[in-house]
Amino acid sequence: MNRTADRRVLMVAGVALALRLIMVAVFPGPDYYSGISVSYLDVVHNVLNGKGFSVYVDLAPIAVGTPQWAYVPFIDRPLGYVLLMLIPSVLSASPVLVQILHAILGALSAVLLYRIGSRLASEATAFRAGLVYAAWPLSARFEITLLPDAVMSFFLLLTVWLALKALDPQRPARWALASGLAFGAGLMMRPDILFLPLFLLAGLALQSWDRRALLNATASFVVGAAVVVGIQTGRNYRVTDGAVLLLGLGNGISMWEGISQFGDTLGTVYGDVRMTEREGYRSWAYPNGIERDRTRFREALRIIREHPGWYATLMARRVPVLLTPDWILTRRYALSLKDYLDETPGGTVVSFLREHPFAAGIRGLLILLQYGSLIVAVMVLLRRRSDRWVWIPGLIIFYYVAVHIPTNAEPRYFYPVIPMVVLLAVQAFDDLRTRRQKV
């Protein structure tokens, strides 16, 4: 690495870390989706107090007046994020330390994007993309939230960078194995990347025509991922008395609730609290969470098979929900449009613009950044479609959209792939500048 590259790495990492630490100071502790954050913090507390990876829940049906509180094995989500939170929690119980760890991972993510861009595009484009992502407000705010989604950019970029290293003739199997391990760690944070390797492999195949080396690297990748997933699955098998649970629960509930994402439909409801009330237990995952989740999944698939046209329309409606930034950046200091419409009888978008111009301006800017970057990213994909490297970030972005619209969609699911959008968007602007200079 030359001195120029060293300085660029330090600049990208410094900007990213500084901005994320500022966000930690502004938004300390659980804030966005605090219920999920607290559930993870509770497991960490139980581990540090000798209770193991467990949750403390009331197992009695809601109709029963006498509660039945008990410590039971934590199985509703993968263990990865708990393990990550344990690292700073050993030093202090303050969740701010976890956020600082997130900030560090965010800085490393910006550096990884710079490294990926240097290999795929050019050093100049990669540096600009790293800086833009480092200062990107959507990412800087989201990446310090206490959610496994918030660290997924790091594991995603690490997986891609190591996979690209596996294309080198020197020690490709070792790099592919490391990429598989990184992917497995990411799976233990968010299982929604389960089928991502298929899309990543398609993009990598365009970079190398050495099929033998690619097959060997793929095998090493699978071994690395299988090691991590196997450890998690073995633990779940042991604590559930022989139930096969790869990572955690959630596929059934996501699919089932997603049918009612825009209003109660075909016998389903939206929201964990409403769903638990319908089923008669205080927790959606305990007791008998595995059986209940599988039942929900089968019921959801039945509804989809019986109403395929309607479900296709539902998936189309989810796309803008997934891609539109929500109130995460504004809720602390500016009223969101959704909250305004919910709380103001007769409220409209026009009255919101008139009564809350600052909040409307902030949200308008965020939407402009999100959709503006997406539009120019698509433009560079179309214009550079013969340039093989653009299809690696392009396929990853497509996967993140495609994998979420069949279940349900929330803006937080799209945040991890923003670095790939930024890389393509910066390349589009660099192409535009180059054409203008030639004129």
Q: What is the mean pLDDT of residues 319-346?
A: 79
244 in a domain, yes or no?
no
Residue pLDDT, tens place only, 397-423: 999 999 999 988 899 999 999 999 999
Q: Are residues 220 and 276 in the same domain?
A: no
Residues 96 and 22 in one domain: yes
Contact residues for 345 (Cβ-Cβ < 8 A; gap 6+): none
Task: Examine residue 417 and state whether it is found in any structural domain, yes or no.
Answer: yes
- Which of 239, 259, 293 is the last residue before a domain boundary? 239
Examine residue 283 and state whether it is found in any structural domain, yes or no: yes
Same domain, 1 and 142: yes
DSSP track, 85-124: HHHHHTT-S-HHHHHHHHHHHHHHHHHHHHHHHHHHS-HH
**Rounded Cα–Cα distance for residues 52 and 81 (Å):** 15
276 and 395 in a single domain? The answer is no
- Quick check: helix, strand or coil at residue 260? coil
Domain boundary among the residues 193, 211, 239 is at 239
Selected residue with higher pLDDT from 111 and 169: 111
Has residue 421 been placed in a domain? yes
Examine the domain organization and report whether 404 and 421 are in the same domain.
yes
Domain that holds residue 439: 313-439
Between 322 and 172, the more confident residue is 322
422 found inside a domain: yes
Q: What percent of the chain has pLDDT over 70?
A: 97
CA 174 – CA 170 distance, rounded (Å): 9
pLDDT confidence of 1, banded at 50, 70, 90?
Answer: low
Could you tell me the maximum CA-CA distance found in the chain, to the nearest angstrom? 79
- 40-83 pLDDT per residue, tens: 999 999 999 999 999 999 999 988 879 999 999 999 999 999 99
**298-303 mean pLDDT:** 95
Same domain, 278 and 331: no
pLDDT number for residue 78: 92
C-alpha span between 259 and 157 (Å, rounded): 32
Residues composing the chain: 439
Domain count, the chain: 4
- Single out the residue of 229, 233, 279 nearest to residue 253, CA to CA: 279
Instruction: Dump pLDDT digits (tens) for 335-379.
Output: 777 778 888 888 888 898 898 888 888 888 888 999 999 999 999
Q: Are residues 25 and 122 in the same domain?
A: yes
Indicate the pTM of the whole model: 0.93
pLDDT at residue 439 is higher than 70: no
pLDDT at 126: 96
Q: What's the average model confidence in pLDDT over 92-113? A: 97
Q: Does residue 96 share a domain with residue 169?
A: no
Per-chain mean pLDDT for the chain: 91
Over residues 214-228, the pLDDT tens digits come to 788 889 999 999 999
The yes-or-no verdict on residue 159 having pLDDT over 90 is yes
Tell the burial category of 45 from Cβ atoms under 10 Å away from its Cβ (0-12, 13-18, 19+).
Answer: middle
Confidence label for 104 from pLDDT (cuts 50, 70 and 90)? very high
| 151 occurs within a structural domain | no
Q: Is residue 153 part of a domain?
A: no
Q: Is residue 426 part of a domain?
A: yes
Same domain flag for 230 and 281: no
Residues 255 and 225 in one domain: no
| Final residue belonging to a domain, choices 239, 272, 288 | 239
Whether 14 has a pLDDT exceeding 80, the answer reads: yes
Helix axes 418-438, 152-165, angle to 10 degrees: 60
Percent of the chain at pLDDT exceeding 90: 66
Amino acid at 404: H
Q: Within this chain, do residues 66 and 177 fall inside the same structural domain, yes or no? A: no
Two structure tokens written together for 409: 């969609």
Domain co-membership, 176 together with 104: no
